């Protein structure tokens, strides 16, 4: 199964969700490959691989389809990380690939074609995409069997999902394959009533830290907004998971390993384990 993590807006937890779900699939004994298609290379560094190294990367795979560049396939770049998860790393150079892709007629199907070379070797392939509406997102959607959309609690997240829906409609028109995003993950969702972890929530916590008080009216309004937000997401997606705010998430990424190995008993880890179990059962 090929699963693509996508959202037009940045900071929604795409990479975090991708890596931690991959971690639990790996812990279940599945052979897992993470493909990092984001020029920011956060999935690469989040698995403990230096994106600034001289190793071959997704830059080389995409460029091999453009002009006279040497042929490089996924099998040539895959590296085993210290977590045991296999990785097709990204690099900062990837940002320079997109202009070349626009010269190709079948530019949206490059990643899907590249995966055919190695797909039979893996139980699950997870694709991390950048926060954009560009060719790397399009390639991820075309290659996907399933799309997972991630949300933070910011006010622009739902608008980003609308833009992603438009892209998926374009994919169906372009390649004839229907792309359905039926799983949503709400990330950094604070379970404490009235203290959501959003830009507004952090402001409330700072006020409490420095002044010893919070604005209860604003907290109530923000709680209502988040409830309405969550209900909107549940109306749009068949399955919705809520991952609570957990400081272990960032600590695990700094160590270059998923929560399944860093803090398997933490609250966020339990939700990612549940999502992995759902994927594993399909």
Regarding predicted confidence, which is higher, 7 or 87? Answer: 87
The predicted pLDDT at position 163 comes to: 65
pLDDT single digits (tens) 251-277:
999 999 999 999 999 999 999 999 999
Residue 22 lies in a domain: yes
Structure tokens at 169: 């409609």
Q: Could you give the strand order of the β-sheet that contains 124-128, starting from the edge strand earlier in sequence? A: 79-80, 86-88, 32-36, 124-128, 2-6, 146-151, 183-186, 239-242
pTM of the model: 0.87
Total domains in the chain come to 1
Residue 208 lies in a domain: no
How many Å apart are CA 237 and CA 231, to the nearest integer?
A: 10
pLDDT single digits (tens) 20-43:
999 999 999 999 999 999 999 999
Helix axes 248-255, 267-280, angle to 10 degrees: 70
Which residues, 6+ apart, have CB-to-CB distance to 66 below 8 Å? Answer: 97, 100, 101, 103, 104
Of the candidates 53, 52, 77, 51, the one whose C-alpha atom is nearest the C-alpha of residue 64 is 77
pLDDT band at 181 (very low <50, low <70, confident <90, very high): confident
Residue 234 lies in a domain: no
Residue 203 lies in a domain: no
How many Å apart are CA 132 and CA 178, to the nearest integer?
A: 20
Domain span at 20 = 2-192+239-280
- DSSP β-bridge partners for residue 33: 86, 125
Residue 205 lies in a domain: no
The CATH number for 53's domain is 3.40.50.300
Residue 51 lies in a domain: yes
Asked whether 275 and 28 are in contact (CB, 8 A), the reply is no
Residue 139 lies in a domain: yes
Average confidence score pLDDT of the chain: 85
Residue 85 lies in a domain: yes
61 has a pLDDT exceeding 80: yes
The predicted pLDDT at position 175 comes to: 66
């Amino acid at each position: 199964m090929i699963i693509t993590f996508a959202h037009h807006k940045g900071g929604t937890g795409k990479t975090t969700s991708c890596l931690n779900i991959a971690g639990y699939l790996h812990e279940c004994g599945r052979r897992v490959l993470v493909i990092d298609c984001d020029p920011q290379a956060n999935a690469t560094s989040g698995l403990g691989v230096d994106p600034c190294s001289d190793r071959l990367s997704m830059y080389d795979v995409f460029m091999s389809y453009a002009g006279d560049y040497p042929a490089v396939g996924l099998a040539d770049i895959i590296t085993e990380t210290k977590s045991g998860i296999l990785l097709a790393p990204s690099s900062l150079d990837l940002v320079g690939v997109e202009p070349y892709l626009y010269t190709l007629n079948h530019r949206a199907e490059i990643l899907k074609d590249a995966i055919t070379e190695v797909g039979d070797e893996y139980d699950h392939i997870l694709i991390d995409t950048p926060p954009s509406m560009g060719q790397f997102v399009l390639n991820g959607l075309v290659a996907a069997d399933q799309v997972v959309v991630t949300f933070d609690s910011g006010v622009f997240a739902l608008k980003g999902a609308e833009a992603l829906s438009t892209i998926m409609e374009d994919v169906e028109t372009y390649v004839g394959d229907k792309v359905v995003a039926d799983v949503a993950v709400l990330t950094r969702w604070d379970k404490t009533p009235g203290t959501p972890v959003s830009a507004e929530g952090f402001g409330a916590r700072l006020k409490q830290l420095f002044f010893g008080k919070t604005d209860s009216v604003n907290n109530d309004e923000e709680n209502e907004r988040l409830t309405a937000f969550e209900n909107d997401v549940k109306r749009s997606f068949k399955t919705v998971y809520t991952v609570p705010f957990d400081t272990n998430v960032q600590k695990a990424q700094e160590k270059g390993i998923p929560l399944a190995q860093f803090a398997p008993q933490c609250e966020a880890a339990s939700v990612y384990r549940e999502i992995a179990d759902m994927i594993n059962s399909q």
